[in-house]
Homo-oligomer: A and B are copies of this chain.
Amino acid sequence: MITDVTNSTFVQALVSQIRAQDPYGVYRSWSDELLLKPYILSKEEKRKIPVDTPVDPVTKGRITYFYGAIAREIERQTGKLMQVVINVNEEGFGWALVFSGKLLAVTRTLRDAQRFGFTSLEQLAQEGEKAVQAGIALIQKFPEVAEA
């Protein structure tokens, strides 16, 4: 079952994002499941992560890869070049933006970004795919803005 989710195009796009940032080949022997494990946090685990300290660079990287995968999937299905901007302040609040031209295909406010994560791999895949589809729908609705 887990394997099915891992094979979804969104999850594979996310895996590619992570593996692309592996200059020393550390992840080469890691399975996709192991690579994605830090994205899965139970409510209990989230609660244990303090939100009164800045978001650490590894968590920031995880957020960037997640929205990067959304951007790459939208690109693949629309042919539009997408930009990703992740902006998190010291308190863990901010924005995740995926855009093309003058059109924001995906906008998400981030809160408690220190605790970025999903309850399961299924939820991660679902959230990612939902954002991809909503982004594509916007580009199809406003193509001239995406090219502006």
A: which residues have CB within 8 A of B? 83, 85-87, 95, 97, 99, 101-105, 107, 138, 142, 145, 148
Give chain A's interface secondary structure class.
strand
Contact B95–A83 (Cβ < 8 Å): yes
Best-surrounded residue of A97, A142, A145 (most CB of chain B within 10 A): A145
Residues of B within 8 A of A105 (CB): 102
**Which residues of chain B come closer than 8 Å to A87, judged between CB atoms?**
85-87
Given A97-B99, A142-B145; 16 other pairs, CB 8 A cutoff: A83-B95, A85-B85, A85-B87, A85-B97, A87-B87, A97-B97, A99-B104, A101-B104, A102-B105, A102-B107, A102-B142, A102-B145, A103-B103, A104-B104, A142-B142, A145-B145
Instruction: Report B-chain residues with C-beta under 8 Å of the C-beta of A138.
Output: 102, 148
Chain multiplicity (copies): 2
How far in angstroms is the closest Cβ of chain B from A108? 12
B83 lies within 8 A of A145 (CB): no
